[in-house]
Amino acid sequence: MTSLPQHPSEGSERLRPTVAVARAARVLAAAGIDAPRVEAELLAVHVLGVPRGRLALADGLTPDQLDRYDALVARRADREPLQHLTGSAAFRHLELAVGPGVFVPRPETELLAGWGVDQARAGSPLVVDLCSGSGAIALAVAQEAPAAQVVAVERSPAALAWLRRNAADRAAAGDRPVEVVAADVTDPGLLSDLEGRVDVLLCNPPYVPRAVEVPPEVAAHDPDEAVFGGADGLDVIRPVLARAARLLRPGGVLGVEHDDTHGAAVPALLVADGRYEAVEEHRDLAGRPRFATARRR
């Protein structure tokens, strides 16, 4: 367990947030956290219950709050995910509940979700999100393309609990409800009642090749089955592409996220299938291959 520097007893006095954050940022930087100041601030606003933009104006941390803050900083320095510590993950315009048992959505996936939203804004489409996890993609589409009917598919019981919680929270907030289906996306009979009817199919599957070394936050805290996709990372993508071709209507579109080493492999699989056209590779903001799209012939 990483130890924080001991702070003097403040009695009933409060410690200014800027002082606590500066000290915490040094601890996180020493632990190898990429954005230590940002994460120190996010943990501080979580403890204080204030917006980040108001942190400098917030009342100081009480001794009890400081103890809680120091404990969270120590856990983050031991590489527990920030989102597990705060209980939420930002994704596009959403704040999603996350924790042990569910994959924490990444900013890169917002690009695939945004593409899906754009596709879903015409008419009243049927949208399917496979490997839904926390529901990030499905719930973003439901919020930003409210005319869409959205189905979210997940097999993990632990992830399903988070998905259902987030879906209920967003429906209570006024977003169009999302239908949650417990199923394995590699099942050849998946969503058989929707064959030939789906307008937009999106998927952020497990795709990391097994031999790849991942950060401690991923290795120790993200579910293994949500991260790794077999020896070459394509064990889930292959059956998803095959099943998607049966679920999509003619002219329906597919978007699937993949590893940055799959920039040629996934488009090649789509072309080789023979049922897709307009195959296109998309890069993330760092210029790395990130997701592929195609249209059903």
Check: CB of residue 289 under 8 Å from CB of residue 283.
yes
Asked if 266 and 292 count as a contact pair (C-beta separation under 8 A), the reply is yes
Both tokens assigned to 181: 């289906």
Q: Is there a catalytic annotation at residue 205?
A: yes
Query: What's the pLDDT at 289?
Result: 98
Q: What is the SS3 assignment for 248?
A: strand
Instruction: Please choose, from the candidates 237, 153, 137, 150, the residue with its C-alpha nearest in 3D space to the C-alpha of residue 191.
Output: 153
Q: Residue 255 has what pLDDT?
A: 98
> Mind listing the pLDDT tens digit of every residue in the chain (297 residues)?
454 544 444 444 788 999 999 999 999 999 999 999 999 999 999 999 999 988 988 889 999 999 999 999 999 999 999 999 999 999 999 999 999 999 999 999 999 999 999 999 999 999 999 999 999 999 999 999 999 999 999 999 999 999 999 999 999 999 999 999 999 999 999 999 999 999 999 999 999 999 999 999 999 999 999 999 999 999 999 999 999 999 999 999 999 999 999 999 999 999 999 999 999 999 999 999 999 999 999
pTM of the model as a whole = 0.93
Q: What is the pLDDT of residue 243?
A: 98
Q: Give me the phi and psi of 201, to 5 degrees please.
A: -120, 125
d(CA 125, CA 146): 10
- CB count in 10 Å sphere of residue 252: 23
Residue that the structure tokens 């009817």 belong to: 197
Residue of 36, 81, 91, 204 with catalytic role:
204
Give the per-residue pLDDT at 153.
98
Single-letter code of the amino acid located at 212 = V
Residue in 105, 125, 205, 289 annotated catalytic: 205
Confidence (pLDDT) at 234: 98
* Whole-angstrom distance, CA of residue 267 vs CA of residue 283: 13
Give the whole-angstrom CA distance, residue 149 versus residue 179. Answer: 8
Strand, helix or coil at 222? coil
Check if 291 is active-site.
Answer: no
203 vs 113: CA distance, rounded Å: 9
What number of other Cβ atoms are within 10 A of residue 207's Cβ? 25
Nearest Cα to Cα of residue 262 among 226, 218, 232, 224: 232
Check residue 4 and give its pLDDT: 52
pLDDT at res. 101: 97
Report d(CA 140, CA 127) in Å as an integer: 12
Whether 166 sits among the annotated catalytic residues: the reply is no
